[in-house]
Amino acid sequence: MATRNIVTKEEPLLYKKSRPVKAFDARLHQLLDDMAETLLASGGVGLAAPQVGVLRRAVLVIETNVPEGEDEQLIELINPEIVESSGEQYGAEGCLSFPDEYGLVRRPMDVTVRAQDRNGEFFTVSGTGLTARCFCHEIDHLDGVVFTTLCERMLTQEELEQGKIEEQ
Ligand code: NI
């Protein structure tokens, strides 16, 4: 495994649509392993392949809603699609590709995603709160959509100093 560079907002790839993953091979596994190492090193809660310069439909999300004492879970989503969403949450969102920028974004409170795993098997997974927000944010990346275009407004420096904010 190796960490890869996370591209920032100047990189045109971030605004392009990613292609579906068709080969569930060693190259994909290497990409996913490298993305995991990159994400864990970054301190963020989600990462999409285009953020490491690869226009393929693959994302990682860390499930942080786990019982106390249990490890957070890393979820690999290949060719993910949101199949159900409900409720609403309004809160701060950030992105590893937009360091130090946060904005208020409205997202569903509960989201169910259908995706393939690294071997091509289909599965569904549901998330709530931050995990639901993260599913939406990362899947948006695969369509070249970044959170700053969805923000109702950006947060001020003063607001940033007051609260804990997760990066996706
Ligand atoms: Ni992001």
- H helices, E strands: number in the chain: 3, 8
Q: Kindly list the catalytic residues.
A: 138
Q: How far apart are CA 51 and CA 59, in angstroms?
A: 10
Using the CB atoms, write b or e for 100-129: b if 16+ within 10 Å. Answer: ebbbebebbebbbbebbebeeeeeebebbb
CA of 160 to the centre of ligand 1 (A): 18
Q: Tens-of-pLDDT digits for all 168 residues of the chain?
A: 799 999 999 999 999 999 999 999 999 999 999 999 999 999 999 999 999 999 999 999 999 988 888 888 999 999 999 999 999 999 999 999 999 899 999 999 999 999 999 999 999 999 999 999 999 999 999 999 999 999 989 988 888 887 756 666
Q: How far apart are CA 38 and CA 151, in angstroms?
A: 26
**Cβ-contact 35, 52 below 8 angstroms:** yes
Q: For 139, list phi and psi in degrees, rounded to 5.
A: -70, -35
- CA dist 78 to 22, 29, 64, 66, Å? 10, 11, 20, 22
CA of 51 to the centre of ligand 1 (A): 7
**Cβ-contact 56, 21 below 8 angstroms:** yes
CA of 40 to the centre of ligand 1 (A): 14
